[in-house]
Amino acid sequence: MEFETSKQYWEDRYKIGGNSGAGSYNRLAEFKAEIINSFVAENNIETIVEFGCGDGNQLKLFKFKSYTAYDVSNTIIEKCKEMFKDDTSSSFFHVSEYKQQTFDLSLSLDVIYHLIEDETFFQYMNNLFNASSKYVIVYSSNTSENEKAAVHVKHRKFTDWVTQNKPDFELTEHIPNKFPFDEKNKKITSFADFYIYKKKEVK
């Protein structure tokens, strides 16, 4: 599939019936759900926002009281609205509809390394952290090494950006992937780890 921009790539991918990728399925999805569901329960999280919700498969494994999702693809937002139409705890919007609301927890799962353009990355990161009143959880790679990256992948050392641009947040935990990337098993392994941030004034 041709790549022009990050937004165009994902809209086209979903339009032809593509999914969010291996990270949203099987044991990788279960690993993410295990970590996030535990965090939500332990920290009494009431409201959650996710930027880059994708096809909704990962959401099926989450246990959330109130979930709001944004994505760049109108196609996938409409699909998720239909898929979760009976779930009153979830709502889905195009990212252009985000109006600076805040939530207990802001999520970014397998998204940052798909933000190819710098301006797209900056806008995304600002939304992600501005939307949080307490915590941010990022699940991503954290390196500037891109020698073997696919056309729709650009790895970034995003923690440097957070340190420089969001000093009111501190990195409180790094959880390595249970299934670290293996070139021979790309569909069931990942180069993403968990990075948990907490707003400094939150007790």
> How much is the CA Rg of the chain, to the nearest whole Å?
16
Tell me the three-class secondary structure of 60-71, residue by residue.
Answer: HHCCCCEEEEEE
pLDDT at position 1 is: 62
Q: What is the pLDDT of residue 5?
A: 84
β-partners of residue 175 are: 194
pLDDT above 90 covers what percent of the chain? 77
Listed residue (90, 102, 91) closest to 129, CA to CA:
102
Residue 200 per-residue DSSP state: T
48: amino acid identity, one letter:
I
pLDDT given at position 23 = 67
| C-beta pairs of 33-40 under 8 Å, 24+ apart in sequence | 33/58, 33/61, 33/62, 35/175, 35/194, 36/62, 36/107, 36/137, 37/61, 37/62, 37/63, 39/105, 39/135, 39/137, 39/196, 40/64, 40/105
pLDDT tens column, 151-179: 788 999 999 999 999 999 999 999 999 99
> Would you call 170 exposed, middle or buried from its count of C-beta atoms within 10 A (0-12, 13-18, 19+)?
middle
Q: Name all domains of the chain by residue range, CATH numbers in brackets.
A: 6-199 (3.40.50.150)
Read off the amino acid at residue 22: A
Instruction: Specify the pLDDT at position 112.
Output: 97
Please report how many Cα atoms fall inside a 13 Å half-sphere around the Cα of residue 30, on the Cβ side: 6
- Would you state the structure tokens that stand for residue 155, as one six-digit string? 């790895």
Q: What is the reported pLDDT for 146?
A: 83
Q: Which residues of the chain have pLDDT under 50?
A: none
Q: What is the pLDDT of residue 101?
A: 98
Q: Are 176 and 164 in contact (CB under 8 A)?
A: no
